Amino acid sequence: METKVTLVKYNHCVGESNCHFQFTPKYRRAIFNDKDVLAECEREFKQIAQDLKVELVGMGFGPDHAHIFVTSWKNYSIVELAQRFKGVSSRHIRQKYSVRLSVQGLYGDQMWSDGYFHRTVGAVTTETMKKYVEESQSKHWKAEKQKPSQTTLLPFN
């Protein structure tokens, strides 16, 4: 099966920029078992993407980590994207849910671990990303005896 690649046209260039990130809470705490914290993190990631004018194509969560798939990020470095998504989401979630996070063992001014995973990705269809996010995350939730929480793919209207 042949997939048609859609390139993004900018004022002075044409191309594509796709990146997959995985962020892990400090001490690998299972903070996303709390549905309110998970929903707030989803909202924050969507808002950050909107503010940065990048496309957030997919999100998936395990109990103790988050995956995002970002496209059209040509104006940012990978480091800057990771810093923005982790920093802004951490600040807002800690302000809103500080008591819940402290019960999970997260105190102070850090929600995310220091590192992160990233991979730049070539031409990938939405179906491929959806399959990856859904299948790879379900194994983490089986250990929790829960159905995976929300997997969101475009459109985010």
Whether 91 maps to a domain, the answer reads yes
Whether 6 maps to a domain, the answer reads no
Residue 48: which domain range? 17-153
Q: How many domains does the structure of the chain reveal?
A: 1
Whether 12 maps to a domain, the answer reads no
Q: What is the pTM (predicted TM-score) of this model? A: 0.78
Whether 10 maps to a domain, the answer reads no
pLDDT digits (tens, 9 = 90+) for 52-76: 999 998 899 999 999 999 988 989 9
pLDDT at 120: 87
Q: Which of the pair, 106 or 141, is modelled with greater confidence?
A: 106
- Confidence check: pLDDT of 41 > 60: yes
CA separation, residue 2 to residues 7, 120, 154 (Å): 16, 21, 21
pLDDT at 141: 63
Read off the CATH number of the domain in which 104 is found: 3.30.70.1290
